[in-house]
Amino acid sequence: MPVERCNEGGDASLSGAALFNDFGQPLGRALPEWRGAEFPPHRALHGWGCRLEPLDPERHLGDLWQAFGADSGAMWTYLTSGPFADETAMGVWLREVATKRDPQFYGIIDEGNGRALGLASYLRIDPLAGSIEVGWLHFSPAMQQSRLATAAMVLMMANAFALGYRRYEWKCNALNLPSRQAALRLGFHYEGTFRQARVDKGHNRDTAWFSVIDSEWPALKGCFERWLEDGNFDHAGRQRRRLSELTAACRSGAC
């Protein structure tokens, strides 16, 4: 039977092992109550002026085509989709992905004007393991580095943990510095890089991995709520306190 034993050697690889079996082998934390997470219902989420709607190509295509059209083309460099030759081509792609269960796509709506300004999805959805990823992030120029973008990411993270997931993942092209910085700003921990993980658009891709786990969520939730409150923004919508300052404290265990 498993017995408790301390990690006398201080080996970092055993830091998560609280038990050892009769063979002296380390075991992970026991989870006798674990029954898995819930597959995410494809439903609307809203808060802080943001609404996430299940992707509806017929309603969202026009707004998205216009919003993405304001970009120089740089937003497509690290995405496996696009750029699209015209609105019809993008519509074909939207209709294809909208039918999928995994990835599960959402349109990101600015409740101030009712327009769809971006896309996001859950993917690699594994209720049995309690692991889920956020990805396929298409943020138009109007969304980039905005309160709306942060609100969308917080809504998706909050929903995942409310559904019982233990691990929330973010991964990106290792050369995509803005995505890496965004993950850290949102409180994700960098876990490492998978070398030569894929070939995207004819180029090698090394993939950087990040995660938040359920034990970290309560503190992060508090960070997000403080940052998103109206008092953190001036009359021009500029932040008074940076989210990265709040979440960095959480990652270091200081919050």
State the amino acid at position 245 in one-letter form. E
Q: What is the CATH number of the domain that holds 211?
A: 3.40.630.30
30 burial level (CB within 10 Å; 0-12, 13-18, 19+): exposed
pLDDT value of position 4: 47
Joined tokens for residue 61: 């295509």
32 is a domain residue: no
Residue from 130, 187, 178, 127 nearest 153 by CA: 187
pLDDT value of position 14: 54
Q: Quick count: other Cβ atoms within 10 Å of Cβ 242?
A: 12
158 is a domain residue: yes
15 is a domain residue: no
20 is a domain residue: no
pLDDT value of position 252: 73
Task: Work out how many domains the chain is built from and give that number.
Answer: 1
pLDDT value of position 250: 79
Domain extent, residue 48, equals: 37-251
26 is a domain residue: no
4 is a domain residue: no
21 is a domain residue: no
17 is a domain residue: no
* CA 154/CA 50 separation, integer angstroms: 10
pLDDT value of position 39: 99
Regions of the chain short of the pLDDT cut 50: 4, 6, 8-10, 12
Give 167-208 pLDDT, tens digit per residue: 999 999 999 999 999 999 999 999 999 999 999 999 999 999
Mean pLDDT, the chain, as a whole number? 93
pLDDT value of position 245: 92
